[in-house]
Amino acid sequence: MQSDQPISWLMFFTLAATILIAAGAFLAFLRSQRNRDIAAVALEGDGRGRGIAPSGALPELGGVFVLALLVCGLLVAGYQSGGATRFAGGDKPTPVPTAPTNTDRGTTVGAGAAITPPQSPTMTQPMRPAPDTRVAPTGSANGAGAESGGHPEAAPPAR
């Protein structure tokens, strides 16, 4: 165990200790006869069901379990069939795009990616505005001196 990531090790040991404490508490819960009787009544019921409706939660839990198994089976079947990862061309390799030859739209870099100059129009913005040449005023008297709110610690203290 190296000490280059102490927080990760701290989280790991905290998780392990929490799991051990929870497992111990669960085993202590199961060893109690009273708790087992309460769990049996909750799952099996006490016979107060009307008609064919059971009074316990076991049939509902069984239904949820069967539904979860069905969903897991559908996920496995969908994953094994390939799903949306297959293309219309079947198992043929995907063609690698070549660099565009239209040099008035931009230049090509790297693996054929075209860089469009900023001044050229696009489909979403046909008329590009001119660059903003405005600059902030710097010759103003505002913001100068000790009372400007800028750096009062640089000014000498007032007497």
pLDDT tens, residue by residue, 122-151? 777 667 677 778 877 666 555 555 555 555
10-55 residue pLDDT tens: 888 999 999 999 999 999 988 889 988 888 888 888 877 676 667 7
Residue 70: its pLDDT value, please? 97
| pLDDT for 99 | 55
Q: Is the pLDDT of residue 4 over 70?
A: no
CA distance 104 to 114: 11
Q: What is the pLDDT of residue 3?
A: 57
Q: Are 115 and 107 in contact (CB under 8 A)?
A: yes
- pTM score of the predicted model: 0.35
| Residue 72: per-residue pLDDT | 96
By 3-state DSSP, what share of the chain in percent is helix, strand and coil, each rounded to 5? Answer: 45, 5, 50
Q: pLDDT digits over 73-91, tens only?
A: 999 998 888 765 555 555 6
- Asked if the model's pLDDT at residue 105 lies above 90, the reply is no
Query: Where are the chain's structural domains?
Result: 8-84
- Report which secondary-structure segment, H or E, holds 9: helix 6-31
Higher pLDDT, 153 or 131: 131
Of residues 65, 47, 45, the one with CA closest to residue 56: 45
As a whole-number percent, the residues of the chain with pLDDT over 70 amount to: 52
Q: What is the pLDDT of residue 114?
A: 64
For the chain, the C-alpha Rg in angstroms (whole number) is 36
- Rounded mean pLDDT, 59-74: 94
16: tokens are 């392990």
